[in-house]
Amino acid sequence: METNQYLEVFIDESKENLQIVNDQLLELEKNPDELSIVNEMFRAAHTLKGMSATMGFDDLADLTHKMENVFDSIRNQIAKVDANMMDVLFDSVQALEEMIFDIENGGDGKKDVQIIVEQLKRIEKGESIDVEASSVVTTEENPTNTTQSSNTSIDLNEFEWTVINQAQSDGYSVFHIDVSLAEDCLLKAARVFMVFEVLENSGDVIKSIPPVDDLEDENFDHSFEVLLVTKETDEDVKHKILKVSEIVEVDVKLFDDKPMTEEEIEKIELEKQEKDVDEATEEGKKSVNNKAVNSNKTIRVNIDRLDVLMNLFEELVIDRGRLEQLSQELNHNELKSTVERISRVSSNLQNILLTMRMVPIDQVFNRFPRMIRQLARELNKEINLKIEGADTELDRTVIDEIGDPLVHLIRNAIDHGIETPEIRKKNQKSEQGHLLLKAYHSGNHVFVEIKDDGAGINKDKVLKKALANGLVTQEEAKTLTDQQINEFILASGFSTADKVSDVSGRGVGLDVVRNTIESIGGTVEIFSEEGKGTTFSIQLPLTLSIIAVMLVNLKDETYAIPLSTIIETAVIKKDEIMKVHNKEVIDFRGQIVPLVDLREVFTVESDREDDYYSIVIVRKGDKLAGLVVDSFIGQQEIVLKGLGNYLTQVFAISGATILGNGQVALIIDTNALIK
Amino acid sequence: MEESVNQFKVIAFHLGDEEYAIPVTNVGSIERIQHITRVPNTPPFVKGVINLRGVVTPVIDLRERFNMEKTPYTESSRIIIVRIDELEVGMIVDGAHDVVDVMNEDIEPPPEVVGSIEVNYIKGVIKLQKRLLVLLDLNQVLLQEEFNRMKEIGS
């Protein structure tokens, strides 16, 4: 059986299931008595086990199986949920994650999990001394106590069920075949191979027990079972198999035991679950509902294909611009109305395409609860994490970038922000620190906030450090706003931590956070009140492939400046320009802003003899600069393009775009122009 | 297929009076001169970038690349889009005429000095009945180190 083609699906689904287990574990920790949570985990773990076994990842299957047993013990109230147990379970999830990661990277998913397995075993039985061991379900084939179907000792995952249902509705029969080899059979693997060859000539084998790998390695006694989808009759199949020598017995049964199938049980469980959930929290209900919807209405699409689609569409956008311009020039009525229609349709298409690439920020958020839990334990702090707006959607390219910065900020909040329970108590705060992770849409941006109710930023300390590091002069220090002082902690090499810990405090990190966020066109703001807590607010663009820019002219050349960096534009009189240290500056709303003449930077022949200067005020962090241009053209949505591999690292140019007239305009990297 | 080992096709073009050739497999397309967007702070021979059917493609002036005398572009000037490895670059030439079949034995090693260009850009000289084609070594012509060196001189 060829399993490679399912590998991708396997990895995706495993991750999903693992995430469910992870989420539910955290949930369970909060509500140890809520058994519906265990059911959910059990199902996810069970599916994971089934899939890994089919794919031949034994370590993965084994560990999941042990976890499953623990869940079962919890469900049957044999084992009690406590912190130690949670630790072991989290460790297991981590181990599983590593294995799947390994498989994804082409490894074999093998890992020594002996210790965890031992621990799981102990938990499974540890507290069940009074209870008869027999009540602990250990048979792999009967995961739920209610499953006592005699003819289905094969457990199937969702995927296999789909195949079976499909086959049955297409008029194929599904047979459950029990094949016994002769006791003295010498070449078991060879016989198995021959049987499979026979079977695959008559139909498709969808499942075998034990898995094919074990069969090939002769890891079985003298019989094995398979599920076969075929159009032939049971008699035909039986006779064909019996022709293989050393096969002593073949038992072919029609596999259509719907009333006792696991699917049925799952349904019952789901209904039960929904009832439970009805009584339980809103949130839980939402997640169940979401799941039900998702399973019906989504398909998996390779991200590369979406990228190709996006590229093609970008070309279309450029041609659309050209077409619009041409139809204006030609002034032909029918052509005009056709072009208008095309424009309308393609803008709809653009919206759909952009939303297709959107993924919920939950994909980043979902790894935090466990990380925070671990960190809190390491640092002996108590932290209550709240996540809001996890369903807020962002372009995949942005999602890929923000993971690390958020990790930094969260570690920072836990290490420096939230105090230890003792100190909190002394300061008349609740012993448990609160951390809020919040995402929401606003205009063309998404905001992500990380809010803690910890110690806040000690402004005096920051200012002292800033003076010591030479970031500001005594003079400047007096005029700084609170916000500006706070932003010093984003400067490179800046740390007010007296003690360097493993977690943070080395003064690297927050500047990286700021740089990463700014490189994708976002900004970071800090609000803090000493003693009350700190909020980091990150503003992110919705997408990276199509951005809004301001087009400007330099003589006859057109350049684009990303709107996200622009504060405002201004036209000033020549005599308003002052000279400081031989540099031109202007007084912009009470702030001294240096001017950068783009004609000089981009070596455009200069013969400006105007009394008025057109200036674009741009910012990098808290620094401003005024870019002198010849004229403003206007604002436009453009498609970002690279300059190609030949022209790498051109000073102050971050990329290019194609304008409506088919010409290329360069995009200015304003960060390079602000020192 | 024995033929292909021994024989290959080249695109022949000229710069001034001299004829040059590059293997047809490296050529993506041949374009007319179109609007070129200047890219500031690059070596003088980099003329800028063009919109090649939606792909922003850099363009170099081959005359300036070989330190030949600059001439204004004419009706017959062309941009030859060449591809080697990951690089895609347009080269402006005075004119591109035809595709020529070349046998391996027609190629002679480069003499000490060929016409006006430095010898390290040359793979060999193709001798046809009445023509001499200089076979360029594109890797050398588009070499990044060279590019950087020229960039420093340029700026």
Distance (Å) from the alpha carbon of A580 to chain B's nearest alpha carbon: 27
Write down the pLDDT at residue A279: 47
Catalytic residue among A412, A419, A449, A487: A412
Residue numbers in chain A where pLDDT is lower than 50: 1-2, 127-152, 259-262, 276-295, 499-507
Distance (Å) from the alpha carbon of B32 to chain A's nearest alpha carbon: 15
DSSP string, chain B: -HHHHHEEEEEEEEETTEEEEEEGGGEEEEEE----B--SSS-TTEEEEEEETTEEEEEEEHHHHTTPPP----TT-EEEEEEETTEEEEEEESEEEEEEEEEGGGEEPPPS-BTTB-GGGEEEEEE-SS-EEEEE-HHHHT-HHHHHHHHHHH-
Helix (H) or strand (E) holding A21: helix A7-30
Q: What is the pLDDT of residues B96-105, one digit of tens each?
A: 988 988 888 8
Contact state of A647 with B49 under an 8 Å Cβ cutoff: yes
Distance (Å) from the alpha carbon of B76 to chain A's nearest alpha carbon: 22
SS3 A627: strand
Integer Cα distance of A78 and A80 in angstroms: 7
Which one is predicted more confidently, A35 or B141? B141
CATH for A546-673 is 2.40.50.180
Nearest Cα neighbor of A634 from A555, A582, A563 is: A563
Q: How far is CA A351 from CA A343, A344, A399, A443, A587, in A?
A: 12, 11, 18, 15, 42
Contact state of B37 with A557 under an 8 Å Cβ cutoff: yes
Write down the pLDDT at residue A665: 93
Selecting from 1.20.120.160, 3.40.50.2020, 1.10.357.10, 1.10.3720.10, what CATH number does the domain A4-144 have? 1.20.120.160
Pair B27, B81: CB distance under 8 Å: yes
Which residues of chain A are within 8 Å of residue B87 when distances are taken between CB atoms? 644-646
Catalytic residue among A13, A22, A40, A46: A46
Integer Cα distance of A45 and A96 in angstroms: 11
Q: What is the pLDDT of residues A53-73, one digit of tens each?
A: 777 788 888 888 888 888 888
DSSP-assigned letter for residue A574: G
CATH for A158-256 is 3.30.70.1110
Write down the pLDDT at residue A515: 80
SS3 A420: coil
Write down the pLDDT at residue A135: 35
Assess B25–A contact: CB distance below 8 Å, yes or no.
no
pLDDT at B12 over 80: yes
Assess A672–B contact: CB distance below 8 Å, yes or no.
no
Q: Is the dihedral of CA A12, A14, A15, A21 positive or negative?
A: positive
Helix axes A396-412, A368-378, angle to 10 degrees: 20
Which residues of chain A are within 8 Å of residue B56 when distances are taken between CB atoms? 641-644, 656, 658, 664
Looking at domain B2-145, does it have CATH number 2.40.50.180?
yes
SS3 A490: helix
Contact state of B87 with A662 under an 8 Å Cβ cutoff: no
Probe site for chain A from B31, B35, B41 (most A CB atoms < 10 A): B41
Q: Is A27 a catalytic residue?
A: no
Integer Cα distance of A237 and A244 in angstroms: 12
Per the listing, tokens 């990951």 go with B86
Q: Among partner residues A602, A645, A650, which is closest to B87 by beta-carbon distance?
A: A645
**What SS3 string covers A47-98?**
HHHHHHHHHCCHHHHHHHHHHHHHHHHHHCCCCCCCHHHHHHHHHHHHHHHH
ipTM of the complex: 0.85
Integer Cα distance of B11 and B15 in angstroms: 13
Amino acid of residue A152: T
User: Binning pLDDT at 50, 70 and 90, where does residue B5 land?
Assistant: low
Write down the pLDDT at residue B113: 61
Integer Cα distance of B73 and A472 in angstroms: 54
Integer Cα distance of A300 and B81 in angstroms: 38
Write down the pLDDT at residue A666: 93
User: Quick check: do A4-144 and A360-541 share a fold?
Assistant: no
User: Binning pLDDT at 50, 70 and 90, where does residue B116 land?
Assistant: low
Write down the pLDDT at residue B118: 64
Q: Is A68 a catalytic residue?
A: yes
Per the listing, tokens 């090499």 go with A493
Q: Is A412 a catalytic residue?
A: yes
Pair A212, A1: CB distance under 8 Å: yes
Nearest Cα neighbor of A379 from A410, A428, A415 is: A415
Assess A315–B contact: CB distance below 8 Å, yes or no.
yes
Probe site for chain B from A650, A664, A667 (most B CB atoms < 10 A): A664
Query: Residues 104-143, chain B: which have Cβ within 8 Å of A?
Result: 142
User: Binning pLDDT at 50, 70 and 90, where does residue B90 land?
Assistant: very high
Query: Residues 595-614, chain A: which have Cβ within 8 Å of B?
Result: 601-604
pLDDT at B128 over 80: yes
Catalytic residue among A27, A29, A40, A68: A68
Contact state of A601 with B53 under an 8 Å Cβ cutoff: no
**Two tokens at A144?**
């739920």
Measured in degrees and rounded to the nearest 5, phi and psi for residue A95 equal -60, -45
Assess B87–A contact: CB distance below 8 Å, yes or no.
yes
Which residues of chain A are within 8 Å of residue B39 when distances are taken between CB atoms? 643, 647, 650, 653, 666
DSSP string, A527-548: EEETTTEEEEEEEEES-SSEEE
DSSP-assigned letter for residue A488: G
Amino acid of residue A309: L
In the CATH hierarchy, which fold is given to the domain comprising A360-541? Heat Shock Protein 90 (3.30.565)
Write down the pLDDT at residue A261: 47
**Two tokens at A313?**
């569409």
Every domain of chain A and the residues it spans: 4-144, 158-256, 303-357, 360-541, 546-673
Assess B40–A contact: CB distance below 8 Å, yes or no.
yes
